[in-house]
């Protein structure tokens, strides 16, 4: 489904109901927030396992409807603000990846600084003048770590591979969910 189809159908219903003038970006943001609260209500008081089993309880249709409402409002809001939803999602994924890399680099630098401090020789308890202090070159892992992750940043993103990874993770989640269900039913029969 593409965004034009969503926008056309939303516009058709909106015009028929006389709601077109009410769909400002502010009102759409409010609608997203309200629908997100309705989505969250489906999971209120559920354990993590119960939320995994929601599909079996038949409540998945309510969840799907709330997700669809949120998605529709977001697509319409992007249109009103002249944003391409697919581009902004891709850009945000790249920002998240960069942020993750920075955390890894910071952690590695911190570890190397800790190692540097513990390996530095101590010469008495009094601080020495700067001219007499031994200077140490601390290795900088920034370029090493960043190169591991940024090698593909100049290339276009292989969205097919990304979709396959998502599909594989969904299959793995479904398998884990089935195991949880089996374990839960075993526990229920032994109780």
At residue 155, does pLDDT exceed 90? no
Q: Are residues 97 and 138 in the same domain?
A: yes
Non-local (6+) Cβ contacts of 36 within 8 A are 70
Weakest-pLDDT range from 33-37, 45-49, 130-134: 130-134
Q: Are residues 35 and 99 in the same domain?
A: no
Q: Are residues 108 and 168 in the same domain?
A: no
Q: What percent of the chain has pLDDT over 90?
A: 27
Non-local (6+) Cβ contacts of 35 within 8 A are 66, 69, 70, 73
pLDDT at 35: 97
Cα gap 152→161, rounded to integer Å: 13
- Are the C-beta atoms of 100 and 113 separated by less than 8 Å? no
Top mean-pLDDT range of 73-87, 92-106, 121-135: 73-87
Give the DSSP letter of residue 124. Answer: -
Please check whether residue 123 lies inside any domain of the structure. Answer: no
Please check whether residue 28 lies inside any domain of the structure. Answer: yes
Q: Are residues 75 and 138 in the same domain?
A: no
Q: Are residues 169 and 106 in the same domain?
A: no
Please check whether residue 42 lies inside any domain of the structure. Answer: yes
Cα gap 141→138, rounded to integer Å: 9
Q: Are residues 58 and 29 in the same domain?
A: yes
pLDDT one-digit tens code per residue, 78-88? 999 999 999 99
Average of per-residue pLDDT across 143-164: 56
- Check which CATH number belongs to the domain holding 63 and give it: 1.10.287.1080
Please check whether residue 126 lies inside any domain of the structure. Answer: no
Average of per-residue pLDDT across 69-98: 92
**Which pTM was predicted?**
0.54
At residue 20, does pLDDT exceed 90? no
Alpha-carbon distance values, 148 to 25, 138, 142, 144 (Å) = 40, 20, 10, 7
Q: Are residues 9 and 75 in the same domain?
A: yes
Please check whether residue 124 lies inside any domain of the structure. Answer: no
Please check whether residue 113 lies inside any domain of the structure. Answer: yes
Task: Indicate the pLDDT class of residue 154, thresholds 50, 70 and 90.
Answer: very low
pLDDT at 53: 83
pLDDT one-digit tens code per residue, 158-170? 767 777 777 777 7
Q: Are residues 7 and 55 in the same domain?
A: yes
Q: Which domain, by its residues, includes 146?
A: 84-118+134-155
Q: Are residues 57 and 91 in the same domain?
A: no
Total domains present in the chain = 3
Q: Are residues 43 and 96 in the same domain?
A: no
Q: Are residues 103 and 77 in the same domain?
A: no
3-state helix, strand and coil shares in percent for the chain, rounded to the nearest 5: 75, 0, 25
pLDDT at 123: 56
Please check whether residue 129 lies inside any domain of the structure. Answer: no
Q: Are residues 67 and 23 in the same domain?
A: yes
Q: Which of 7, 60, 3, 66 is nearest to 31 (CA)?
A: 66
pLDDT at 141: 45
């Amino acid at each position: 489904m593409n965004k034009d189809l969503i926008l056309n159908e939303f516009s058709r219903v909106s015009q028929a109901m006389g709601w077109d003038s009410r769909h400002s970006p502010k009102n759409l943001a409010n609608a997203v927030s309200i629908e997100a609260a309705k989505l969250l209500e489906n999971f209120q008081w559920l354990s993590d396992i119960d939320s995994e089993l929601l599909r079996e309880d038949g409540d998945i249709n309510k969840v799907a409807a709330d997700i669809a409402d949120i998605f529709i409002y977001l697509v319409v809001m992007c249109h009103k603000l002249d944003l391409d939803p697919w581009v902004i999602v891709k850009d945000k994924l790249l920002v998240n990846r960069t942020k993750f890399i920075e955390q890894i680099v910071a952690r590695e630098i911190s570890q190397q600084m800790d190692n540097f401090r513990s390996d530095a020789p101590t010469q008495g308890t009094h601080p020495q003048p700067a001219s007499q202090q031994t200077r140490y070159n601390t290795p900088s892992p920034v370029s090493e770590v960043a190169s591991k992750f940024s090698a593909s940043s100049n290339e276009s993103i292989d969205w097919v591979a990304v979709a396959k990874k998502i599909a594989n993770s969904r299959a793995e989640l479904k398998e884990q969910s089935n195991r949880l269900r089996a374990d839960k039913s075993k526990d229920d029969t032994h109780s």
